Amino acid sequence: MTTVKFLNKQFNGPLVLASGVLGVNASSWGNVNKHGAGGITIKSCSLQPREGHPNPTMTGTKHYFINAVGLSNPGVEEVVKEVEVFRKTNKTPLIGSVFAGCVEDFGKCAKALAESAVDFIEIDISCPNVKHEFGEPYAFSPDATKKITAEVRKQVKKPIIIKLSADAPDIVAVGKAAEKAGADALCAINTMSGMAINAEMAAPVLSNVQGGVSGPAIKPMALKAVWDLYENVKIPIIGTGGVTYGVDAIEMLMAGASLVGVGSAVYFRKIDAFKLINEEIEDFMKKNNYKTIKSMIGAAHK
Ligand SMILES: Cc1cc2nc3c(=O)[nH]c(=O)nc-3n(C[C@H](O)[C@H](O)[C@H](O)COP(=O)(O)O)c2cc1C
């Protein structure tokens, strides 16, 4: 697969593992990389460890998954140790992801993770599954996004990526606020709010009642988010949401993504998802005479 340059780092292909899928440890990141991911986004971590929600936390059909894992993670200190383990044998770009409940903690957690050997810091302001603790996601508000981005910018020299939500009333306003406050890139989109009901039980399926929808069902909303952002911001975008086959990744690039996030596809196509999607992208490029990934970025905007 041809290499792709993103914020001055070389990625082996356009695919990156999306945050939250396939664990928080070095061996899992290495395994995903071995199977074709050009970069790895780490599961979002917080200053303190979090247990997350009780089971059941995940359900799905062939069209989507709904999860309410609740940001379970071992805390930033443990994640930093895993990054050290990973870096002993692997130079693949690592995107560290952080989550917090207030502006100040976003800054502290991002600073702590940025001191490790991660290459980028992604700021998860868009998780839909922790409303009862923290209220609506910060990514719904341009003002809150501006404050968090500015605080992280103050604390961190490494490139920062702000992860956005297509549930936001105006994702473009949020993206612009992040750009203005010093973000180097955007990631769109996180899961979208939804729920599942078990008719026999006359009850919600998830213990948290509601969760975040991912997988093929959210691809149209992800494409629209990336399209709209591409037309309105200058910083690059990681397009994420529903990418399962090579053609989905091509569509995401053509909407304006510079890299493509892959999460739920590893449930649908197993660990080979990255390798298969890469092969499908290469086939498409050969058939349609595209020589580089770069030449496809934003190609659908005339
Ligand atoms: C089980 C699960 C856990 C997730 N955890 C996180 C997380 O910790 N931080 C984050 O920014 N996104 C998280 N996400 C969202 C994904 O990174 C991604 O944005 C979303 O699933 C859409 O991509 P997909 O359709 O390829 O899965 C999670 C998604 C799933 C399915």
Active-site position among 45, 109, 127, 187: 127
Q: Enter the pTM of the model.
A: 0.98
| 127 assigned to active site | yes
pLDDT range class, residue 130, cuts 50, 70, 90: confident
CB 99 within 8 A of CB 45: yes
Beta-carbon contacts of residue 119 (< 8 Å; ≥ 6 apart): 9, 93, 94, 95, 158, 159
Joined tokens for residue 201: 């039980």
The closest residue, in CA terms, to atom 10 on ligand 1 is: 19
Calculate the average pLDDT of the chain.
96
Beta-carbon contacts of residue 133 (< 8 Å; ≥ 6 apart): 101
pLDDT value of residue 62 = 96
Tens-place pLDDT, residues 157-203: 999 999 999 999 999 999 999 999 999 999 999 999 999 999 999 99
Joined tokens for residue 209: 């009642």
263 Cβ closer than 6 Å to some ligand 1 atom: yes
244 Cβ closer than 6 Å to some ligand 1 atom: no
pLDDT value of residue 210 = 94
264 Cβ closer than 6 Å to some ligand 1 atom: yes
Q: d(Cα 298, Cα 294) in Å, to the nearest integer?
A: 9
Instruction: Tell me how far the alpha carbon of residue 190 lies from the centroid of ligand 1, in angstroms.
Output: 6
Which domains can be identified in the chain, with CATH numbers? 4-296 (3.20.20.70)
71 Cβ closer than 6 Å to some ligand 1 atom: yes
CB 282 within 8 A of CB 236: no
The closest residue, in CA terms, to atom 7 on ligand 1 is: 20
Residue carrying structure tokens 């037309």: 231
Tens-place pLDDT, residues 233-264: 999 999 999 999 999 999 999 999 999 999 99
Q: d(Cα 275, Cα 164) in Å, to the nearest integer?
A: 27
What average pLDDT does the segment 290-301 reach?
97
